[in-house]
Amino acid sequence: MLSTNNLSCTRDDRTLFEGLGFSVNAGQALLMEGQNGSGKTSLLRILCGFREPDSGTISWCGETTPNPQYFADMAYVGHLDGHKKELTVLENLKLALALGQTGKLSIQQAMAKVLLSGYDDALIQTLSAGQKRRLSLARLLITHNILWILDEPFTSLDKEGIVLMESIMAEHCAAGGMMVLTSHHDINLHGIDVQRIRLS
Amino acid sequence: MTLFKAFSAIVRRDLVLAMRRRSEIANPVLFFILVITLFPLGIGAQPKLLQAIAPGIIWVSALLATMLSLDSLFRSDFDDGSLEQILLSPYPTSVLVLGKITAHWLTTGLPLILIAPLLAIFLGLPNQSLSILLLTLLLGTPVLSLIGAVGVALTVGLRRGGMILSLLVLPLYVPVLIFAGNAVALASGGLPVTAQISILTSMLLLALVLAPWPTAAALKMSMNS
């Protein structure tokens, strides 16, 4: 279980949020809403440990983060997709696998699932923005992780991609996974227990 | 064992990337060769003088060539987000960072060592000191990569970190330069160099043990911007 207590974040004397406390249990999702600049990305980066919160604590399964177990259980997809553009799809996924722990799906299964079969030897720089997003999704599927932290996961996906993403999210939560995400899109998260937090 | 797998995956990744961006590896080596070939032209026909300053020329050029290549160590990973993924890996960041430094040395330090004998002959360095030159490069260039990594990690988040990087790193390079240059100069005169070699070896071991942690910590700090 992910829980936060009294989190606050200020940027250049501007308070983005304060006293933020929430908890996400197995099978639940937390959807952060708010205007541009309201601190959604900052909050996600705090959850990843890239930023220190100005006050407050985050804990994972009762232990204060960051701790090794937390990093083994979480995965992050941010604005930058983190693929090397000079490497092929397969090389990128193999690297992700080497840096994490083996997950539910094999590389080939995951590529089939995100509709990238046959792209094994394609260089990332030849992929479209939507295909890169789907590759990030494949990365989530091949490595072991319970908590997904997703920053605008629907950006640049087409209709088909959005439906695919939604179904993969639903499967993840149904299997006891957790998600913290931000999105501008009106997304369909039916079947998932969603909490919404509005930052302003 | 899986930690070693993660380490070697990072090394392999960076080597493959270097092969696919050949100009980036060629840059420091070309710089090294160009600077060294310019010295005889600038100094003129004075073989004795050239021979006397050859160790210094080779070492200063190696040092500057390494400096030139440092920025590429974390820049592209920082820009495309793969550094985020490396930091989020459950494996210790310091070990993964050591993988990146190893690959950096293999693609910049090692080529300098391979080309150095040719340039040493070109400058008229006596034969008896050639092996010592290569030994000091073998011990010294990894230290340059290790110390440089700390500096790059601190400045990678800054938009124009180049100048600060030089100011941070160059003073730390000076001891390596002094002992390595001194060892080669002494060897040219036929004197024993055990002390200098021991000191360089201990610098390498110290850097190997001490540099990865601050590099990992500095990368985390650079993310916080």
Q: Which of A70, A84, A142 to mutate to test the interface with B (most CBs of B within 10 A)?
A: A84
Torsion on CA atoms A151, A155, A160, A164, rounded to nearest 10: -10
What is the rounded average pLDDT of the residues B108-117? Answer: 94
Q: Coil, helix or strand for B108? A: helix
pLDDT digits (tens, 9 = 90+) for B57-91: 999 999 999 998 998 899 889 999 999 999 999 99
Predicted pLDDT of residue A15: 85
**Which domain range does residue A45 map to?**
2-199
Tell me how many domains chain A contains: 1
What is the rounded average pLDDT of the residues B18-33? Answer: 89
Q: pTM for the complete prediction?
A: 0.92
Residue-averaged pLDDT of chain A: 88
Q: Which residue has the higher pLDDT, A189 or A118?
A: A118
Instruction: CATH number of the domain at A73, please.
Output: 3.40.50.300
User: Could you tell me which of A50, A79, A32, A1 has the C-alpha nearest to residue A194?
Assistant: A32
Please say whether the dihedral angle defined by the alpha carbons of residues B223, B91, B75 and B101, taken in this order, is positive or negative: positive
Judged by a CB distance cut-off of 8 A, whether residue B16 touches chain A is: yes
pLDDT digits (tens, 9 = 90+) for A34-57: 888 888 888 899 999 888 888 888
Which amino acid would we find at residue A161? G
Predicted pLDDT of residue B134: 95
Asked whether B84 and A78 are in contact (CB, 8 A), the reply is yes
**Predicted ipTM?**
0.90
The percent of residues above 70 in pLDDT, for chain B, comes to 99
pLDDT of residue B143 exceeding 90, the answer is yes
Domain boundaries, chain B: 2-223
What is the rounded average pLDDT of the residues A157-171? Answer: 88
Confidence of residue B1 (pLDDT cuts 50, 70, 90): low
Judged by a CB distance cut-off of 8 A, whether residue B90 touches chain A is: yes
Asked whether A159 and A7 are in contact (CB, 8 A), the reply is no
Judged by a CB distance cut-off of 8 A, whether residue A87 touches chain B is: yes
Under an 8 A CB cutoff, do A81 and B81 touch? yes
Q: Mind telling me how many Å the CA of B160 is from chain A's nearest CA?
A: 21
Q: Mind telling me how many Å the CA of B32 is from chain A's nearest CA?
A: 27
Q: Which residues of A touch B20 (CB under 8 A)?
A: 86-87
Predicted pLDDT of residue A94: 92
Asked whether B123 and B58 are in contact (CB, 8 A), the reply is yes
Predicted pLDDT of residue B225: 67
What is the rounded average pLDDT of the residues B208-219? Answer: 95
Under an 8 A CB cutoff, do A99 and B224 touch? no
Predicted pLDDT of residue A158: 87
Under an 8 A CB cutoff, do A80 and B5 touch? no
Residue-averaged pLDDT of chain B: 92
Which amino acid would we find at residue A75? A
Of B17, B86, B224, the CB nearest to A86: B17
How far is it, in rounded angstroms, from Cα B140 to Cα B148? 12
Confidence of residue B24 (pLDDT cuts 50, 70, 90): confident
pLDDT of residue B205 exceeding 90, the answer is yes
What is the rounded average pLDDT of the residues A141-164? Answer: 89
Confidence of residue A5 (pLDDT cuts 50, 70, 90): confident
pLDDT digits (tens, 9 = 90+) for A105-149: 888 998 998 888 888 899 999 999 989 999 999 999 999 999 999
Q: Which residues of B touch A96 (CB under 8 A)?
A: 85
Please give the backbone phi and psi of residue B10, each rounded to the nearest 5 degrees, phi first.
-65, -45
pLDDT of residue B101 exceeding 70, the answer is yes
Q: Which of A42, A45, A77, A80 to mutate to test the interface with B (most CBs of B within 10 A)?
A: A80
